[in-house]
Structure 1
């Protein structure tokens, strides 16, 4: 049986499940609001109840961590000892995820959230070129970085900022250019922020990695003012031209070395091919990132590939 962790309304999960059904592979999907009860756990096995169905750990042959998580104490609420319950739940859930991570899987709980700064270290260790960066909350240091590179951007260190206002509009923090006026408007001290040298791109590459294979797509986003800095700021009236893309084998070997070092067998990642020096610059990696935008335009059928891997 395949155990899937996801969230409500995740289209990619549903698309993979459609293939699991075609392939006659039994599965159980757990969303963030699915009621899961831990029945018992010992050194040899465990049992959970999911929507009234009992599942033994020994019955789970593959696991796909797409997104989401578990709350094994959901039905236990007590204001008097809530802090104690939170501590107990943290200890239990950390170990339970550890047990789940021992099951053969596509993605794992422990490395589902990438640390951008650690990722930059890994790039350096594996000989993968990445734009120079600076983390600072000091206006003077940022000014020096700007004077050195002239063109810089800012982006979140972790996951992109996103919120929904009272009128239902979504607001997201995309990668943004930082100019002299932006820096002048800052106070002398501010929240430590991630800044990076802006690379002049010939095109961007969004790629998906699964069990040693790469599925890449070139995105010609540089000629559109909406998408020239961050292609996620889509222009639906004038979409970017895209095309299947293949990395050189030497570059794939470097990437695989980095994925292995982080313990990843599946991820979406972004690369820039620079117009100035004709080199690849590694930008971001998301173990649970979207892959549909690569799958359909390039006819990769990644939903089937994931189902086959489970």
Structure 2
């Protein structure tokens, strides 16, 4: 049986795959964090037998493959407390949930996973080093906590410097009628000089002189590369700002065999069998590795390039279950 761990509500990367599982009449069970924490379904964790039983289904005996995608994303709904002790309660409940989930992943560690619990939040700075060790080109990068070093780095790279989160997270904040989102930012001279003398550790990278970006969805040695073409005059520093513009086009792309070989080695070393890889095609013809997202979105590339990635994921899960 296939176990799908994902959102309770609609999730654009998960639900189309489930449609294909239904089409193929696959034997699967979907569970959300809300099912486990929201008193929606009866279940038991049998510690003596080292088993999880949901609706009478033994995971130890029945589950063979697990697809883990954005499972914990809705956990914050269960951490909202209206109490003078709200902060303490959130900390205590979060600790209980974390240990519980860690134990569940341990019980299921011998199953075939498509992104395990342990690999869902990779260290993206370490990933750059691993990519470099695999022979891939990475942007010149540094993490500094002071204006003096930041300005030195900026002066060493006349092509420009950007900054983005170390974790790769894309948090958002709502204030009244406005939403503020953390995006990759172009560091102009004014911005650099306005930096305080000291600040929290911040990632700076030299800008890559690129013709276009390539998003590669990777599935167990299968590559689905998409060139994302936006005129330079309309191109944002953060590509997420360009996805829905009429001037942006998604077209299939053929990766060089040498790059695919290096990416295969990279994914094996970092412990991922799936993920969305971002590359930049430079003006000199080289490809620069930016990052890999273990649970990146792929629906736009799949639809516009007719890749049917959702179908491939469903068929991979079914194959592992047979």
TM-score for the superposition, normalised by structure 1: 0.89
Partner of 2:282: 274
Distance 1:64 1:33, change over 3 A: same
Residue of 169, 172, 186 corresponding to 2:181:
172
Partner of 2:320: none
Partner deviation per Cα, 1:28-49 (whole Å, 9 max, x = no partner): 2222322356513346541233
Partner of 2:58: 56
C-alpha distance in 2 between matches for 1:38 and 1:94: 17
56-65 or 234-243, larger mean C-alpha shift: 234-243
Secondary structure of 1:296's counterpart equals: helix
C-alpha distance in 2 between matches for 1:108 and 1:247: 27
Partner of 2:220: 211
Partner of 1:260: 268
Kept in 1: contact 2:163–2:187 (CA 8 A): yes
Partner deviation per Cα, 1:73-102 (whole Å, 9 max, x = no partner): x79x9x8x9677765554332122122232
Alignment: residue pair count: 301
Partner of 1:3: 3
Residue of 284, 293, 298 corresponding to 2:291:
284
Partner of 1:21: 22
Distance 1:20 1:269, change over 3 A: same
Distance 1:166 1:33, change over 3 A: farther
C-alpha distance in 2 between matches for 1:30 and 1:171: 32
Partner of 1:147: 155
C-alpha distance in 1 between matches for 2:164 and 2:189: 17
Kept in 2: contact 1:270–1:285 (CA 8 A): yes
C-alpha distance in 2 between matches for 1:126 and 1:237: 35
Secondary structure of 1:260's counterpart equals: helix
Matched, 1:65 2:68: yes
C-alpha distance in 1 between matches for 2:57 and 2:208: 50
Listed as ranges, the gaps of 5+ residues in structure 2 are 318-322
C-alpha distance in 2 between matches for 1:84 and 1:157: 27
Residue of 233, 237, 240 corresponding to 1:229:
237
Distance 1:222 1:113, change over 3 A: farther
C-alpha distance in 1 between matches for 2:243 and 2:62: 46
Q: CA RMSD in A?
A: 2.5
TM superposition shift of 1:144: 0.3
C-alpha distance in 2 between matches for 1:279 and 1:98: 41
Partner of 2:194: 185
Distance 1:33 1:40, change over 3 A: closer
Partner of 1:195: 204
C-alpha distance in 2 between matches for 1:110 and 1:116: 14
C-alpha distance in 1 between matches for 2:45 and 2:243: 51
Partner of 1:101: 109
- Higher fraction of helix: 2
Kept in 2: contact 1:201–1:222 (CA 8 A): no
TM-score for the superposition, normalised by structure 2: 0.86
Listed as ranges, the gaps of 5+ residues in structure 1 are none
Kept in 2: contact 1:133–1:195 (CA 8 A): yes
C-alpha distance in 2 between matches for 1:303 and 1:175: 29
Kept in 1: contact 2:44–2:53 (CA 8 A): yes
Distance 1:34 1:278, change over 3 A: same
Partner of 1:116: 124
